[in-house]
Structure 1
Amino acid sequence: MPYADLSFAEVSSAVVHQNLRPNIPKCCPSSFENILKKCWDAKPDKRPEMEEVVKLLEAIDTSKGGGMVPEDEATGCFCICRRRRGP
């Protein structure tokens, strides 16, 4: 979880006043990265409507596989969603 060490108020303030955004993993396809950045625009009126986001996501070519698998892992879950289990 990004910013687990910050309170909701601290994250909210940093997003608004310091343009805080999560780091995008290197394994993230550029097409998905572009959608994220559009959705994170500091100016709300420049962010896409959900209908457009859905169209952009549906337009991503997944025919060649890939996705967000880290290059150093032969198999594994999506790097942006990876969770550690146990202590």
Structure 2
Amino acid sequence: MTKANELLELINSLWYSAKIGADPGLELSYTGFVRCFEEFFNIKLKKLFDKRSQLSARKRNPTPLLDQLKSTYLKNITDLNSGK
């Protein structure tokens, strides 16, 4: 999996969670949402909708990056709580 696909996996997860949005009264499109990340990371993601379809079509291990992030987060929380 390429780094662009990993970033897009994260972006899609945030988009579908509906936890991030625009100011009240403003509508944020999917492409506008992705553009925010492109600007922040100074990158250009091409073929957004093709890649989004490819990510959703994966059958095996559908969220490798998110699973890794969750595992790392939980480990760090456990380590902090145990004083490591």
Q: TM-score, normalised by structure 2?
A: 0.29
Structure of greater relative contact order (alpha carbons < 8 Å, 6+ residues apart): 2
Q: TM-score, normalised by structure 1?
A: 0.29
Higher helix proportion (structure 1 or 2): 2
